[in-house]
Amino acid sequence: MANVVLDSLLRPLEEFYRPSFVEEIAINHAGEVWMRLHGARVPWVAYQAPNLSKQYLIDLIHTIANIYERPFNPTHGIPVVYATLPGNHRFSAIAGPNVQYDENDVTGGVAMNIRGGNAAETSFENYHLKRGEDLLKVKPRDNVRPDDPYDRLMGAINDGSPILISGATATGKTTFLNHMLKLIDQNSRVITVEDAREIRVPQANRVHFVLSRTEQNNEFNYARLLDLVVRMTPDVIIGGEISTDNAAVLWEMLGTGHDHFYTTIHAESADAAYAAFADRILHTQPAYSRSELIAEMKKKIRVVQLSRDGALRAVTEVV
């Protein structure tokens, strides 16, 4: 009986995720579906789906949670649900105050991904693994950093290097980050992680996760957030300002292999930014070696340092 109910409830979505040419679908808000197509030049394509109302999507999450005996309580419990749907499709969803798309999500929004089940026939050759041939280098990053700081920054943006924007209060870190986002491919899927909505993302395919430091009532935490973000297939991850609460998880996110990871921190120099990031991680993960952590950060992360003198704001370091 449960399967009959689920099959009936999934029917409005099946036309989007069942076709063999679909790798996955993403819903960032009611009434719209983004389809990721196998081998497409433009990976994400949007379709209007007015029948996928917010109430329908939330009812679907509740039903899947009940059938698969998963906890789901967006207001006071766990707001995320994971399951494997019939046909081996992997389902990830969140609803409630921790997810927003725009200012219309006053009481919280809804987001979900459905992927898998349509894997194309493949072989090692499809992964460019052949006897006697060197492995292919995908998106290799140039370790040579140009002398010109503008070129260093643009090179980091273009090759997807992680970027840490550092500066004291009122130096314009968030404003600078918002401008950087305008330089990212408009077809990118962007996921932000903030404690309050400040980042303005021009890309339409986006999800904003919010973990308030002062108004958190449910059981959604940074560990659960990490699991969810990597399942949502981001092309760009924007972390909110680094704090002792989120530093360790943001560092883990940076290590998940995703390009275009951007975040901000309070510090007065690039060296101080690396040190501050490491110290915040050590508050919750004391087993790390501070010196080794900072050394690894310097290899992986570019820092853009912002400074202020009265009304003057300027980039003073790009490393």
**Are 237 and 260 within 8 A, CB to CB?**
yes
State phi, psi for 165 to the nearest 5 degrees.
-95, 120
DSSP class of residue 170 equals T
* Count of CB atoms situated within 10 Å of the CB of 246: 26
291 confidence band (pLDDT: 50, 70, 90): very high
Q: 233-258: per-residue pLDDT in tens?
A: 999 999 889 999 899 999 998 877 77
Q: What is the mean pLDDT of residues 269-290?
A: 96
pLDDT per residue as tens digits for the range 58-94 = 999 999 999 999 999 999 999 999 999 998 999 999 9
Which contacts (CB < 8 Å, 24+ apart) does range 311-317 have? 313/171, 313/172, 315/149, 315/153, 315/176, 317/149, 317/269, 317/270
Percent helix, strand, coil in the chain, to 5, is 30, 25, 45
120-148: average pLDDT: 76
Say whether pLDDT at 120 is over 70. no
| Residue 240 host element (H or E) | strand 236-241
Q: What is the pTM of this model?
A: 0.89
